Structure 1
Amino acid sequence: MSPKKTALPREVVKWLQTLDLSFYPKNVRRDFSNGYLVAEIFSHYYPHGFPLHSYDKGTSLCAKQWNWSQIGRSLQKQNLHLMKEAIDGTIHCKSGAAELLVQQIYTILTKRHISDIQKQESDFTDQQYQESLPALARSTASKAIKNNLAITEIMAKPDICTNQKKTEVILHRHLEHKAEERVLNPGRFKVKSNRSQLSAKNVVPPSQGDECSDSSSSGGTASKLWSSSTTTGASVSFKEIKVHQPVKHSLVNY
């Protein structure tokens, strides 16, 4: 079985299948977060450097922090290094972090190069996923904060200022994307044109000037008809009626 919705390259998936792990990662983001599978993978290459009996299979934040601290000390002894941002993103189940970390482990242990290795951002946001969705299905501001700021991040670093800065960065990025959408698709956001744009649309070309015609009626009224061209090409007629006012006789006797 292959991992569900995994972005791992084919050669990495085949490599994981040859390691005879205690359980196969069906969900890469979830199953690698506590670090136990990472320690098990390294134990196949360094049996004495990563004793599995000292690792916890739990999924709590304490278990994750303990396992990854153990892995960090063991990697230092073997003079091996993993990307810290990828480790933090894997602990907090960030988008793309676990996939990038597994690929890095693959290149370190097998000395092989991955041709289509992923290029993920250091903050591991869901921007790429949001861009693949239709405009109506994309996250709101509150949903964007929830998706990109895990509860375990707040628990690991409960400092208010730090979490506030993270929230502001997420919100600023979300507003920038919304501004780009307004420019690309103004009709969806019902963006109204300003007065200069409206006046430019309503200007009649000089070659299509107004045409007027006079006609007289039997009732002593004169009428004028104007036909002007609009921006849509349709002809609209307007009629002006002039009425002769009756003469008022003065009531004053001279």
Structure 2
Amino acid sequence: MAYSQSPKKAGIPREVLKWLQSLDLTFFPKNVRRDFSNGYLVAEIFSWYFPADFHMHSYDNGASLPAKQSNWSQIEKFLVKQNISLMKEIIDGTIHCKPGAAELLVQEIYTILTNRRIQNIQQVEQGFTDKAYQDQLPMVARSTASVAIKSNLSLSEVIAEPNIITNQRKVLAIIHRHIEQRKEERTQDPKRFNVKPTLGEQAVRLRPLLASEPNLQMNTSQAAC
């Protein structure tokens, strides 16, 4: 089956895309973030290498959170059984459609199953945030704090982890990151934001005297008298 999918559009290196095409999957991932989130395609990929451990009739290709949790629970049991390491953060990011998580997951699975190194690995933002996307936008179009929270904390993530304190910490971390990004923008373009130097920055700083400058120290002492 032939697929026409741009590696750039998919956010996955070309050699990984060719590998996915060779597996003749039920459907080709057109939207990587969405199509890998429920784990169905992940299970199908592993089934080609471990057919005895994967029975696709037990996996649900639905988009609901219970379907995702059921599929990934089975996959994670298999990973433990085979001593295959996939970071929990990557799996959770994929489930909740975090930016870059699914792309990194597919690349990790590719290296594990094929034992090949990727020539040009795609870099993703640490913590799977939308910072890389925001950096591409003009400053006036970048998200506010409230939009940043909506973009980086999905509803499914809140439902999956209903602990209020945990979600409050996530929100505070997003707000803190947003504030730091705004500070960085102001530092990079002080004229645009009319950033004025502080009193400390305006103050004249004297070079500390060195022990090798006795005459200067003496003159300073005499002047003080």
Displacement of 1:196 in angstroms is 10
Within 1, Cα distance between the matches of 2:108 and 2:197? Answer: 51
Displacement of 1:132 in angstroms is 1.6
The C-alpha deviation readout for 1:62-109, integer Å capped at 9, x for no partner, is 100000000011222222221111100000000000000000000011
Tell me the equivalent position of 2:53. 49
Tell me the equivalent position of 1:2. 5
Tell me the equivalent position of 1:127. 131
Tell me the equivalent position of 2:213. none
Displacement of 1:111 in angstroms is 0.6
Displacement of 1:122 in angstroms is 4.6
The RMSD of aligned alpha carbons is 2.0
CA contact (8 A) 1:39 1:71 kept: yes
Aligned partner of 2:109 among 97, 105, 110: 105
Name which structure has the greater RCO, CA cutoff 8 Å, separation 6+. Answer: 2
Aligned partner of 2:36 among 29, 32, 39: 32
Q: Is residue 165 of structure 2 the alignment partner of residue 172 of structure 1? A: no
Mapping of residues 206-221 of structure 1, within 5 Å: none
Partner secondary structure for residue 73 of structure 1: helix
Alpha carbons of structure 1 residues 17 and 193: separation in structure 2 relative to 1, 3 Å: same
Within 1, Cα distance between the matches of 2:103 and 2:53? Answer: 24
Q: Is residue 163 of structure 2 the alignment partner of residue 144 of structure 1? A: no
The C-alpha deviation readout for 1:103-134, integer Å capped at 9, x for no partner, is 00000111100122234345111111111211
Alpha carbons of structure 1 residues 99 and 196: separation in structure 2 relative to 1, 3 Å: closer
The residue identity in structure 2 corresponding to 1:15 is W
Q: Is residue 63 of structure 2 the alignment partner of residue 66 of structure 1? A: no
CA contact (8 A) 1:29 1:94 kept: yes
The residue identity in structure 1 corresponding to 2:109 is I
Q: Is residue 182 of structure 2 the alignment partner of residue 158 of structure 1? A: no
CA contact (8 A) 1:29 1:90 kept: yes
The residue identity in structure 2 corresponding to 1:187 is K
Query: Between the two proteins, what is the percent identity of the paired residues?
Result: 63
Q: Is residue 60 of structure 2 the alignment partner of residue 78 of structure 1? A: no
Q: Is residue 99 of structure 2 the alignment partner of residue 95 of structure 1? A: yes
Displacement of 1:197 in angstroms is 10
Report the structure, 1 or 2, having the larger helix content: 2
Aligned partner of 1:115 among 113, 119, 131: 119
User: Could you list the runs of 5+ residues in structure 2 that have no partner in the other structure?
Assistant: 203-225
CA contact (8 A) 1:85 1:122 kept: no
TM-score with structure 1 setting the length: 0.73
User: Could you list the runs of 5+ residues in structure 1 that have no partner in the other structure?
Assistant: 199-254
The C-alpha deviation readout for 1:202-248, integer Å capped at 9, x for no partner, is xxxxxxxxxxxxxxxxxxxxxxxxxxxxxxxxxxxxxxxxxxxxxxx
